Amino acid sequence: MTQSGKVQASESGKAKLKAEYKRAGFTIASLAEAAKASEDQIKYLIGQNRPNITQVDRFVIENVVNAINAEFEKNDIDEKLHPSDIVDNWYPSLIPEDFKIVIADKTQIFCGRGFVFNAINQFIENHQSGYFTILGDAGMGKSAIAAKYIVDNPGTICFFNIRAEGRNRPDVFLKLIRQQLTQRFDIANVENDDLSTLLIKASQKLSASENLVIVIDALDEVDQDDHGNLLNLPMSLPDKVYIILTRRPYNLDDKRLSLSPNTKYTELDLRQYQENSKNDVESYILEFLSLEKYKAGLESWINQQNNLSKLQFVKTIAAKSENNFMYLRYVLEAIAEGFYQNEQLEELPAGLQGYYESHWRIMGMTKKPLPKDKIKIIYVMCALKSPVSREMIIKYSQEDDLTVQEVLKGWTQFLQEQKTYQPPRYRFYHESFRDFLQRNDIVEAAGVSLPEISAEVANKMDEGLML
């Protein structure tokens, strides 16, 4: 899209439009009349050489799309053409810098989940507006589904709640949503608007072929003191506005999403789609086996097993994963890097919690006497909750540089190194590991007091020690 508001049809877009306008029963002349465009503009859009036309106004594309879709509907053709089918980059890049790394990471390997996307598309097709919630346990791929939807549907507005970075409060949410809506719809004077007002203004700018979809990940990680809807989500939505949420399963008291009686709402619980997820998990493992970074290590380990075929490996790991993608990410990487070089296939841990327990034990955290220095470092990072540099870990834990470095190296799988900071900072890759550390049996066995560690951290902050 150019700054003038004019756009250029892509080569694939021209080919698609050439086929679709004929299928809708148009001639060049009748389509030009229906779309209030010139015949030369239509000829350019279907790929005929018109030296005097190299781009058209955005409204021309919208009119052409609307005309074709109207004929499709008359002829009971259950398909729709979109402006983004004709013009690449129809929408400006809306994804905030804060979330680009998250989305790239979550979609690096992505397999299947077609049943989820089909359900979302059907919900949007069948309802004027509404909320669609994806439920699932930690590691079941909710964030990856959210990220993939955003990548595949340009123009989607997004927000990822990230507790470990403090990006999980209503004020931060509203600021970033406002920024994206303003960029997509060029709406003005919105500085003091709440979300309901913003959505009304944005919906008024939608063309006949457009919807406004907002994806909000990890609603369960929101930090909000009042008792209203999480993130102050509105009780009702304007027409053609859809909000897709992901969250862990919740008790009714924790739902905190009160809606008006006319607002459509549905949930898809990933735990109820075990067979679909099993197929996706097996595809994920096969994809992981082909990655250059891990291929040699995985093949070497498989060859060391007794007559283990690749298919048997895939089936067994899939079963042990309990359809948990986070488990796969950890275990496959650990196998490739030699972490289980002396283990047999049947000895590998089962399930995400089983993997955490296994790693905790293998890293020597249950030895007698307990490695209290290393345990304290991990729990200090747990208490800090924010990305923190190695130097700050040393100061908060009061452990020596070498021990901190050993912990960071030994637990690298569970840490995300954020190199945008100087010096780099570290945070837990996934909230499920923090949950594991706070399990009563793990806390007791580790001989730590969470309140004492939290108090130590708070005292150092009071003394002016900043992250």
Model confidence pLDDT, tens digit, residues 189-248: 888 899 999 999 999 988 777 899 999 999 998 989 888 899 999 999 999 999 999 998
Q: Report whether pLDDT(368) > 80.
A: yes
Amino acid 465: pLDDT:
61
Tokens of 133: 């919630």
Under the banding of pLDDT at 50, 70 and 90, the label for residue 7 is confident
Q: Per-residue pLDDT averaged across 242-259, rounded?
A: 92
Under the banding of pLDDT at 50, 70 and 90, the label for residue 284 is very high
Amino acid 3: pLDDT:
36
What is the C-alpha separation between 427 and 174, in angstroms, rounded?
24
Nearest to 317 by CA among 291, 338, 341, 289: 289
Amino acid 93: pLDDT:
74
Amino acid 298: pLDDT:
93
Q: Could you tell me if 241 and 172 are in contact, meaning their C-beta atoms sit under 8 angstroms apart?
A: no
- pTM exceeding 0.85: no
Nearest to 233 by CA among 250, 249, 245, 221: 245
Q: Per-residue pLDDT averaged across 72-87, rounded?
A: 86
Q: Report whether pLDDT(429) > 80.
A: no
Q: Per-residue pLDDT averaged across 351-380, rounded?
A: 86
Q: Report whether pLDDT(64) > 50.
A: yes
Q: Report whether pLDDT(283) > 90.
A: yes
List of residues 6+ apart from 465 with CB closer than 8 A: 392, 395, 396
What is the C-alpha separation between 68 and 65, in angstroms, rounded?
5
Q: Report whether pLDDT(380) > 80.
A: yes
What is the C-alpha separation between 390 and 409, in angstroms, rounded?
11
Three-state secondary structure call for residue 157: strand
- Among 261-270, 314-323, 416-425, whose mean pLDDT is lowest? 416-425
Going by their DSSP bridges, the two strands 265-269 and 212-217 should be labelled as unpaired
DSSP state, residue 160: E
List of residues 6+ apart from 309 with CB closer than 8 A: none
Amino acid 164: pLDDT:
74
Q: Per-residue pLDDT averaged across 51-80, rounded?
A: 87
Phi, psi of 160 (to 5 degrees): -110, 115
Q: Could you tell me if 24 and 71 are in contact, meaning their C-beta atoms sit under 8 angstroms apart?
A: yes
Out of 71-85, 136-150, 392-406, give the one with best mean pLDDT: 136-150
Nearest to 185 by CA among 159, 216, 224, 211: 211
Amino acid 466: pLDDT:
62
Q: Report whether pLDDT(29) > 60.
A: yes
Counting Cα atoms < 13 Å in the Cβ hemisphere of 151 gives 17
Q: Report whether pLDDT(4) > 50.
A: no
What's the mean per-residue pLDDT of the chain?
Answer: 88
Q: Per-residue pLDDT averaged across 331-336, rounded?
A: 90
**Buried b or exposed e, range 254-266, using 16+ CB within 10 angstroms:** eebbebeeebeee
Q: Per-residue pLDDT averaged across 118-122, rounded?
A: 95
Tokens of 320: 């042990």
Maximum C-alpha span of the chain:
86
- pLDDT above 90 coverage of the chain, percent: 40
Amino acid 1: pLDDT:
34
Amino acid 2: pLDDT:
35
Q: Report whether pLDDT(173) > 80.
A: yes
